[in-house]
Structure 1
Amino acid sequence: MSSVTSYVNIAAYKFITLDNLEEMRPQYQALCNDLGLRGTILLTPEGINMFLSGTRENIDRYLDWVRTDARLADLEWKESLSTEQSHKRMLVKIKKEIITMRMPLIKPELGRAPSVDARTLKRWLDQGHDDEGVPVVMMETRNAFEVDVGTFNNTLDYRIDKFTEFPEVAARHKDELAGKTVVTFCTGGIRCEKAAIHMKDIGYDRVFQLDGGILKYFEEVGGDHYTGDCFVFDYRTALNPKLEPTETVQCFACRAVVTPRQQLSPAYVVGASCPHCAPEPAAKASTGERVASA
């Protein structure tokens, strides 16, 4: 048996009214410090969002404690494993929103848009339509640089740079998607949950959110109908459909995603530059591979 320590990485969120954030913050910070957990917890008036890494025992102890709060008793989460902790420090922050959309009338706590689970979505994609025979269209809600690491096949990608751009984009393309079943998705479910509610509010006839996002899809059905990896906001940068870290990295200088092939370029200097931000001569000497930007 391997003696390498395996760390459990969890991603979880819940939209629920939280009105005692200043009281909660030191409690969460102290417990996570005591358990040696690392990651980020966002506490907001609309709910909680967390990405944490620790040993199996201490992650379980943390989750048991969180669920003693009646508001979070049914909290669900997604897991992956790594040989290192996926974050380098522990932060508990108070924010205005779990994910910034600047649409205050969207309150997932009051009612979600319809959702589709991973196994059902795979079946729809296998057959090319939903259970009522309506063509299925996948719609990205993530930022363009995340999409470039990997996405579902034949997905609608409107190349947004931040989530606050999504409402306008969704409204602009509504008529094009009449008569289609649209499935919104993101990394773990937060963005697509808000996105689907907004789309329903502005008149989309058939819109679903992928329950649990890409990570839950990988966990339950693997990488069918998906090409590439999934960008994650921690040191691992990207996970493959087996939820294993890949060789993809982020440039320290410009934060662009750098693929293994791009890392062979003279323009890639660890901690200093990459083919996306290097001075012109070095960039021209790159391998020629570029992340799609159009």
Structure 2
Amino acid sequence: MNATVEQLAPVEQQATTGWVVAALYQFKEVQDAAALKERLLNLVGSINLCGTLIVADEGINGTVAGDRVAIDAVHQFLLDEGFTSMEYKESHSAEKPFRKMKIKLKKEIVTLGVEVKPRDLVGHYLDPKEWNELIARDDVILIDTRNDYEYKAGTFKGAVDPKTETFREFPDYVKKELEQHKDKKIAMFCTGGIRCEKSTSLLLQEGFNEVYHLKGGILKYLEETPADESLWEGECFVFDGRTAVTHGMEEGANIKCHACGWPLVPAEVELPSYEHGVSCVYCINKTTDKQKEGFRMRQSQILAAKRKRL
């Protein structure tokens, strides 16, 4: 398959009723991923949808937002295409969560960089109640398979941070830090479950004995688990305009630094290091004055475009 192919479809402004946000994925053999991409482009060109869908030989992955009609249309389309076992979750956003609609053709629907077989080698799925019981045990190593900035926004009590900047770094973490724990119970989690499909498959492939993962990911856990029964601490970072969500899939208090992408709690926004769209406490010393000036120019252009739409 060729390198990433991307095409954009226009998105009209959403009605004042807000946006339905659908996160979905399924590992499934796709006979002709390029043809599926084209069919998706034909669909999204006729409905009010924004977000990203990734298509590969191994399946589909993505998060999209739109009105009820648009979300139902894309959901039904995928069911008709044979994606009948999707991990599928809906939430809501008051504001438009994505700027555009993108369909991407890639080698992997989530990039691990190591060949695994998530349809054949599968860890033990746990629902939220079973998950709580497992991770409360002393003989379990609990691993957050997400990136460092996602961990910063929130995680499960006692979870290990692999300190990865991308999912591609996870196999190296396994070799360096987990190799000596093959006889231990390993529990892993991620936002929606897709990264854990590959990480559990990787560990089983490497000879680990007991590997568990949270079915449906953090999003499903926060949707189903009452706050007073939850072992989750903080908020769950999401890759859209909401920055993070919390129990009941309510929008959280974190906001995103648009210079570096890290989530910020309200107290960090009040620091002198924070300038909207330009810098925060995590990146102010990592960019030059020239770069910051470029960020300011970009921010002024964004604000001007918003005023023009009003």
TM-score class normalised by the smaller sequence: 0.7 to 0.9
User: 1:286 aligns to what?
Assistant: none
Shift of 1:176: 5.2
Distance in 1 (alpha carbons) for counterparts of 2:35 and 2:182: 47
Distance in 2 (alpha carbons) for counterparts of 1:257 and 1:211: 25
Please, what TM-score do these two structures have when normalized by structure 1? Answer: 0.85
Equivalences for 1:8-27 in 2 at 5 Å? 8-27=20-39
**Greater CA deviation, 251-260 or 142-151?**
251-260
User: 1:121 aligns to what?
Assistant: 131
Distance in 1 (alpha carbons) for counterparts of 2:108 and 2:182: 31
User: 2:140 aligns to what?
Assistant: 136
User: 2:206 aligns to what?
Assistant: 202
Match of 1:35, SS state, is coil
* Deviations 1:206-241, CA, capped at 9 Å, x for gaps: 111211111111112144111100011111111112
Distance in 2 (alpha carbons) for counterparts of 1:182 and 1:234: 30
Equivalent pairs: percent with the same residue? 33
User: 2:232 aligns to what?
Assistant: 226
**Greater CA deviation, 189-198 or 172-181?**
172-181
Distance in 2 (alpha carbons) for counterparts of 1:117 and 1:171: 28
User: 2:261 aligns to what?
Assistant: 255
User: 1:164 aligns to what?
Assistant: 168
User: 1:44 aligns to what?
Assistant: 56
Match of 2:249, SS state, is coil
Pairing partner for 2:70 from 58, 67, 73: 58
Which residue identity does 1:6 align to in structure 2? G
Is the 2:121–2:205 contact (alpha carbons within 8 Å) kept by the matching residues of 1?
A: no
* Deviations 1:168-201, CA, capped at 9 Å, x for gaps: 2223333654554221100011111111111112
**Greater CA deviation, 204-213 or 38-47?**
204-213
Equivalences for 1:78-117 in 2 at 5 Å? 78-104=89-115, 106-117=116-127
Is the 1:108–1:193 contact (alpha carbons within 8 Å) kept by the matching residues of 2?
A: yes
* Deviations 1:97-136, CA, capped at 9 Å, x for gaps: 11111112x02123422211222112334xx33xxxx833
- How many correspondences in the alignment? 270
What stretches of structure 2 of length at least 5 have no aligned partner? 1-14, 287-310
Shift of 1:246: 1.9
What stretches of structure 1 of length at least 5 have no aligned partner? 281-294
**Greater CA deviation, 156-165 or 177-186?**
177-186
Which residue identity does 1:14 align to in structure 2? Q
Is the 1:46–1:107 contact (alpha carbons within 8 Å) kept by the matching residues of 2?
A: no
Stretches (4+) displaced over 4 A: none
Is the 2:55–2:105 contact (alpha carbons within 8 Å) kept by the matching residues of 1?
A: yes
